[in-house]
């Protein structure tokens, strides 16, 4: 079981940056590929970025590629999303997500249904 808590959301002007953090409780973080999802107003939740257990493989949605960076610190049970060159269309509630596989899993995952745990979300608002 994992408990995920996001922080770092807020209001920022277009072109600005934010860094989201996700603290993960429990002792299974080193067996968990992690991801970030977002839910835009009036839409379903969508994949943003994923990272494997070792932090050696990352994947991004096309809409954020080159602007967002996912990372993790396994000794701190934390995962991050650095968001640069933000656009008004990035306005959404951002969710941290995790699933349990194994400490040797080399993959990240971009399918929401594969994730077992989600945080409560943090609001990101980008003004034009």
The per-residue pLDDT for 124 is 98
Give the position of tokens 């990101």. 124
DSSP string, 33-101: -EEEEEE-TTS-EEEEEEE-TTS--EEE-TTTTTTEEEEEEGGGTEEEEEE-S--GGG-EEEEEEE---
The per-residue pLDDT for 2 is 85
Please list the pLDDT of the chain residue by residue as tens digits (128 residues): 789 999 999 999 999 999 999 999 988 999 999 999 999 989 999 999 999 999 999 999 999 999 999 999 999 999 999 999 999 999 999 999 999 999 999 999 999 999 999 999 999 999 99
The per-residue pLDDT for 30 is 94
Q: Output Rg (C-alpha) for the chain, integer angstroms.
A: 14
């Amino acid at each position: 079981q994992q408990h995920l808590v996001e922080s770092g959301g807020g209001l920022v002007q277009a072109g600005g940056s934010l860094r989201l953090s996700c603290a993960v409780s429990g002792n299974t973080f080193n067996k968990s590929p992690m991801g970030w999802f977002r839910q835009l107003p009036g839409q379903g939740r969508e994949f943003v970025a994923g990272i494997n257990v070792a932090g050696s493989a990352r994947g991004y949605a096309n809409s954020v590629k080159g602007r967002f960076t996912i990372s993790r610190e396994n000794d701190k049970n934390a995962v991050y999303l650095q968001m640069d060159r933000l656009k008004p269309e990035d306005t959404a509630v951002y969710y941290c997500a995790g699933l349990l596989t194994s400490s040797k899993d080399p993959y990240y995952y971009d399918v929401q249904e594969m994730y077992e745990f989600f945080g409560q979300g943090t609001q990101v608002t980008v003004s034009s």
